[in-house]
Amino acid sequence: MRRRTALFVVITSAACFATLAVLTRLAYAEGGRPLPLLSWRFAIAGVLMIGLLAVRRPGALRGGLKDLPRYAALSFTGYGAASVCFFFSLQHITASVATVLLYAYPAIVALIESALDRERIARSRLGAIVMTFLGCALAAGVLDGAVVVNGTGIVLALGAALGYALFTVLSDRLVGDRSRLVLMAYTFALSALGVGLVTVIVGEPLSPVGWTPRLWFILALIVLVPTYAAVTLFLRGVRELGASQASLVSAMEPVFTVFLAILLLGERLTIAQSAGAALVIGGIALAERPRVTPDVPAGL
């Protein structure tokens, strides 16, 4: 995949992810609860992906059994855990605040990779991270002084950021060149089992009996757009761009969220939001700036 194509893929993934917070809040308005929604989200996504693999590559799932411990680690410490934190954070803080805090994860990815590779983070990358995070905050309206924050919601959203950072780094390093469809089929299935078990333990009703047709429709959208499409596109981009760069480019998500609110909810674009969108785009452009590497004499 060419680099420009990979950038487009990750930006498209961010647009898909941007629908998650809005759809989740709509599901809550229909009476949905975080744990049952997540359980069914992962279960349906897992069944769809396993079915797709069974038709297209029937031997791939059997071959993936040897990597089951790795997939379990990615699910329980990364994607599944992050999703639980994010869904619960939306019960305590607004979608905009939760989304901005989630986008602390490019900085966490950069720190994790720097520690693993024992390399210093380049100044240009630090500048890009700061620009994109500030841009996210402006685009979401967090810095206008009118947003009320909640400590529990902040901790949960930052927990989601840490989980997504771990998933981004580990999926790139532990899985390598293995199929991303197989990775996500196992990740979704294991997440469904884990979250379903937690749901039963805490006494939440796991049965969907009584759900309205509208709630089922919202869940279907959550499965197809910010789950299946967003994750598979993002992982394709990670293979070309690397975990740190792909996570930074995905910071376009809050910008897309703002424009979705304008289109669907009739909100108006403020000057601060316009400046925030420009900062996010500028941060991504800074990160994509060619790096000048000094010539190294032969033999050193």
DSSP 206-238: ---TT--HHHHHHHHHHHIIIIIIHHHHHHHHH
Mean pLDDT within 202-206? 86
Contact 38, 83 (CB under 8 A): yes
Number of domain units in the chain: 1
Q: Higher model confidence: residue 74 or residue 103?
A: 74
pLDDT classification of 163: cutoffs 50, 70, 90: confident
The answer to whether position 150 is within a domain reads yes
pLDDT classification of 217: cutoffs 50, 70, 90: very high
| pLDDT at 289 exceeding the cut of 60 | no
The answer to whether position 26 is within a domain reads yes
The residue segments making up the domain with residue 71 are 3-287
Exposed (0-12), middle (13-18) or buried (19+): which is 59, by Cβ within 10 Å? Answer: exposed
The answer to whether position 299 is within a domain reads no
Amino acid at 167: F
Closest CA to 105 of 33, 157, 178, 48: 157
Token representation of residue 263: 């289109």
The answer to whether position 292 is within a domain reads no
Predicted pLDDT at 220: 93
